[in-house]
Amino acid sequence: MIYLDAAATTPVRREVLEAMWPLLTSEYGNPSSHHTVGESAARALGYARTLVATELNCKPADVVFTSGGTEADNLAIKGIALARPKGRHILASAIEHPAVLETLDYLKRLHGFRITLLPVTSEGLVREEALREALDPETTLCTIMYANNEVGTVQPLASLASMCHEQGVPFHTDAVQAAGWLPLDTTELGVDAMSISGHKLGAPKGCGFLYVRSRLPLEPLVHGGGQERGRRSGTENVAGAVAIATALRLAHQARTEHSAASVARRDHLVRTVLEGVDGAVLTGHPTQRLPNIASFCFPGASGEAILLELERAGVVSSSGSACAAGASEPSAVLLAMGLEAEVAQTALRLSWTAATSDAEIALAARAVVSSVRTVQGIGSRA
């Protein structure tokens, strides 16, 4: 089997399991407990926080551990919006993850916020002029994802954040898909808050964190024991914190090397598919995209049939976001990029880890061409 659905989740790395193991067995204390076992857990939690802060070039106190990217998005958007009295207007791109869009809908329905979804180009880039025009004195937050989870398009975050800061508007980014592949220096990016999830990096599901800039007001979602400096109550998942910190460090130590190799694999796959399948459409920006995602539409072919044919050929892939699995509606991301609904329903996303080999990508590329041709042939005979 060739696993090409890493944008949905990744296997846990051995080094991460080894780092977690003592915290699940011999050093299992509650970090809030004032005894030797608890203090040992507190040191491990502090180590994880410092490790993350080093990778993000921020203060350890700016890191809030969460259960994953969805919670981090919720905490950032609800927390900043409800804590800032400036106004009730939020900006976001039209191609955000459901964790962001559903949170915005909640704020609109229950708290009377006005939401503006910024249009994107046919390649998935936010229109900068639209952002500038949409900013107004009531804007209290702008949230734009770093890299799209369905098509891989990478946004010019530093430029977008700077535009918001000129108007005194804080900027949050969902960097779940970007982590491990793109720079995460919060100072260079100019972001005020950033969400990360562990299971996209080689850590287990159920761990994540939110970076939130010092002194930026943040209303907590979860109240209780006051953990995480009062921003996220509940006994901390120490093993999960160490897991995501370890995975992040490992990914970024080799990021430059792995990204360059992955870009070559991506471009080979894209070239093979576009040359081998008549009418194939590459979705997302051709170059300003993640190194490990290639996404296509195949007009006139059944997307579901292509996925099944690929799996029979030993290639596991997806049609897009795992969070929309089972939905009969076409991808909202592709519709926002201007694709027709019928075309959007033929989407195929191939995504991989740094451990995926050149040979696996080459085999998968040929399998895509063969599978689509088979499905097209069945359709033409029907």
Active site (catalytic) residues = 323
Give per-residue burial for 169-191: e unless 16+ CB within 10 Å, then b. bbbbbbbbbbbbbbbbebeebbb
Find the helix or strand (DSSP H, E) in which 239 lies: helix 238-253
Collect all residues with Cβ–Cβ distance below 8 Å to 209 and sequence separation of at least 6.
Answer: 52, 63, 64, 65, 66, 72, 195, 196, 241, 244
- Order of strands, sheet of 281-282, starting from the edge strand that comes earlier in the sequence: 281-282, 293-297, 347-351
CA 324 and chain centroid, separation: 14
At 126 the three-state DSSP class reads strand
